[in-house]
Amino acid sequence: MEARDVDPACTGKRVVLPSSYIGGDRFMQQLYQDSITIVRHFGKLSLFITFTANPKWAEIAHELLPDQTAADSPDLVARVFNLKVCDLLDQIRHKEAFGPWLGWVWTIAYQQCGLLHLYLLVFLRTDHQFLTPYNIDGFISAEIPPTDNPINEELRGIIETTMVHTHCIANNGSAQCLQGLDPFSVQTCQKGYMRSFQDETMINQDGYPTYRGRDPGQSYAISVRRGGADVTALVDNRRFVPYSTSLSLRYKAHINVEVCGSVKAVKYIHKYIYKGGDRATVVLESEHDEIKRYLNGRYIGPTEAVCRLFEYSTHGRNLQSCISHYTFLTNRQFTSQKMRIQSSYVNEWIAHLRH
């Protein structure tokens, strides 16, 4: 419920975009409430995974016509990414890539550059050893891989091209990850790069670990575009995004894997993945018409349009026979209560509909 829902001035003038419309504000709010209900059922999150489509995937490059790029074939990008996402979900659920699976919540975001982005929250059956530095270092790394064998050489090439934070490298003051409007002050990256060298993984109070990033005494040079010219910058373990070795080798794309060690991170992450699509700032004729406000302010790219035509799922959650039920309390707050649906009742209801 929003403030304008109880505004007497809006009585008889409101045009509501219902929660049944995929992508609308009320739809996203309903998903958020459902996801919080799942958290109450399963407990705190285990993993937060972000997966971005790679336009250089072989499945895409082999199907392009001469002089074409991935941006010229949004249908191809959408199909390949959907197959990759389905395979990733299968690896986590049935192959138990990170351990016994309990549930998940995920959503697809569509970037203006045309690439698709997956936000995946995973609930695992864990024990007290899950948040130990030794266990975390076993499946998450934030260091450059060695080159002692052919597999690690392939992994290093993937990590160097997909898992390095280079937006604010070489004094790029226009990077979006930099904060601070004063040009005379020291601007710091919102993502925390460059990080300090870390000899061992540590669990912070905010629930996010500081991953091991030792000083190897070596770095490599990359070329970045700054001010219309190519500039050489050095990269070491302070700029690597946490990743899973097995997933990076399998999908050859940007796939960030983070451990959620505290329930404090739950609300922020769920709001982040259900923030909705891109919007533009426009002048509206009526502030009480939710449909007109949505149509005038919503930005939809070609990749999202193709996904809608293909009827691909944009959101997913595992309820485990648990649905959200909202009860209005005396203190004027909404809460979610879990309701168990007994299979016998469901079967009787389905049989009644058939007759």
In whole angstroms, what is the distance from residue 4 CA to residue 23 CA? 20
pLDDT at 95 over 90: yes
**What's residue 271's pLDDT?**
67
User: Is residue 72 pLDDT above 80, yes or no?
Assistant: yes
Q: Which residue, 11, 310, 44, is CA-closest to 203?
A: 44
Cα 123 from Cα 159, distance rounded (Å)? 26
Distance CA 102, CA 194 (A): 35
Interval 156-162 mean pLDDT: 90
Q: 6-10, 32-36, 161-165, 282-286: which range is least confident on average? A: 282-286
CA torsion sign, 175 to 179 to 182 to 185? negative
pLDDT at 324: 43
Q: Do the beta carbons of residue 209 and residue 203 sit within 8 Å?
A: yes
DSSP H or E segment with residue 225 = strand 220-226
Instruction: Please give the single-letter amino acid code of residue 102.
Output: L
Q: Read off the pLDDT of each residue in 232-243 and give the average, rounded to a whole number.
A: 86
Beta bridge partners of 178: 189
Separation of alpha carbons 328 and 332, rounded Å: 6
Token pair 């995004």 in the structure block, residue: 241
| Nearest Cα residue to 82 out of 119, 118, 31, 28 | 118
* Mean pLDDT calculated for residue range 172-190: 62
pLDDT surpasses 70 at 280: no
Highest mean pLDDT among 15-19, 154-158, 311-315, 329-333: 154-158
Q: What is the mean pLDDT of residues 17-28?
A: 78
- The angle at the Cα of 95, spanning 92 to 101, to the nearest 5 degrees, equals 50
Most confident listed range (14-18, 199-203, 274-278): 199-203
Q: How confident is the model at residue 196 (pLDDT cuts 50, 70, 90)?
A: confident
Does residue 139 carry a pLDDT above 70?
yes
Ranges 146-155, 200-209, 308-317: which has the least confidence:
200-209
DSSP 3-state of 98: coil
**Checking phi first, is residue 233 left (phi over 0); if not, alpha (psi -120 to 50) or beta?**
beta
pLDDT tens across 309-331, in order?
998 988 887 654 344 444 333 34
Q: How confident is the model at residue 18 (pLDDT cuts 50, 70, 90)?
A: confident
Question: Does 211 have pLDDT greater than 80?
Answer: yes
Q: Where are the beta strands (DSSP E) in the chain?
A: 47-52, 101-110, 116-124, 178-179, 188-189, 202-203, 209-210, 220-226, 229-235, 255-259, 315-317, 322-328, 334-340
76-90, 226-240, 285-299, range with the lowest pLDDT: 285-299
The yes-or-no verdict on residue 229 having pLDDT over 60 is yes
- pLDDT at position 337 is 40
DSSP, collapsed to helix, strand or coil, labels residue 95 as coil
> What would the pLDDT profile of 255-265 be if each residue is shown by its tens digit?
999 998 666 66
Please check the confidence at residue 75 and state whether its pLDDT lies above 70.
Answer: yes
Residues in the chain: 355
Tokens at residue 51, please? 């997966």
- Give the whole-angstrom CA distance, residue 345 versus residue 107: 31
Overall pTM surpassing 0.85 (yes/no):
no
Instruction: Express each pLDDT in 41-56 by its tens digit.
Output: 888 888 999 999 999 9
Angstrom distance (rounded) from CA 92 to CA 323: 23
Q: Considering only residues 325 and 249, tell me which one the structure prediction assigns the higher pLDDT.
A: 249
Write down the pLDDT at residue 169. 74
Lowest average pLDDT, out of 82-86, 95-99, 163-167, 246-250, goes to 163-167
Nearest to residue 336, comparing CAs of 327, 345, 348? 327
Instruction: Name the average pLDDT for the chain.
Output: 77
Q: In the prediction, which pLDDT does 28 show?
A: 79
